Amino acid sequence: MMEICIYGRGGQGGVTLAELVAHAAIQEGKHAQSMPAFGPERRGAPVLAFLRVNETERIKIRTEVAEPDVLVVLDPGLLHIGDVVSRLKKGGIAVINTKKSHAEMKSGIGVERLATVDAMSIAKEVLGLPIVNTAMLGAIIKATGVVKLESLEEPLKERFGKVAAKNLEAMRKAYEETVVS
């Protein structure tokens, strides 16, 4: 089972991101669950979402993910609030939205496996909004292969309707630009 923690801020779409991946996983015949965990619901407040995907078995556990296989950070400022990276399971991968170079991030946060992308620039360019969740979908898929890229087409169309095409473009662009090592 792959367990994922998504750290973001209210308004960045972290909860939606988890729901979209879960939906795509279920369409692929996998078992999945997503859960939000946040305090006061307001734009800009820290938000944490959990996602589990299992290839073969139903997911019976319904708790927060304590040691994720994948740590996703939508707002790089959250890396400095508490020790977010310390939760990552040994051998896990951190997927981070950042303007910094991959090498700078790798040496700065001290993880074995890292995926980086400037999702904010992609979101502003493609969507015209600073909402990074669909760009980060591309980064997560490239880093983990949790679902197929094309499996997100239908969930994105259902969720975003008329603006789904732009969200798909942001996802694909981030997939291409994500650096993984």
Distance separating alpha carbons of residues 175 and 101, to the nearest angstrom = 16
pLDDT at 41: 61
What's the predicted TM-score (pTM) here? 0.95
Tell me the per-residue pLDDT of 81-139, one tens digit each, with 9 for 90 and over: 777 899 999 999 999 999 999 999 998 888 999 999 999 999 999 999 999 999 999 99
pLDDT at 83: 79
Residue 96 forms beta bridges with which residues?
73, 116
Report H helices in 68-116: 102-109
- Report the run of H or E that residue 53 belongs to, with start and end: strand 46-54
CA distances 50 to 2, 19, 46, 76, 99, Å, are 11, 9, 14, 18, 25
Residue 33, pLDDT > 80, answer yes
CATH superfamily of 2-180: Pyruvate-ferredoxin oxidoreductase, PFOR, domain III (3.40.920.10)
pLDDT at 153: 96
pLDDT at 38: 66
Q: Rounded to an integer, what is the distance from CA 32 to the centroid of its chain?
A: 15
| % residues pLDDT > 90 (the chain) | 85
Q: Which residues contact 123 (CB under 8 A, 6 or more apart)?
A: 129, 130, 131, 132, 134, 135, 170
Residue 47, pLDDT > 80, answer yes
Q: Residue 45's pLDDT band (boundaries 50, 70, 90)?
A: confident
Tell me the per-residue pLDDT of 128-166, one tens digit each, with 9 for 90 and over: 999 999 999 999 999 999 999 999 999 999 999 999 999
Output b/e per residue, 93-105; b: 16+ Cβ within 10 A: bbbbbbeeebeeb
Task: Supply φ then ψ for residue 15, to 5 degrees.
Answer: -65, -40
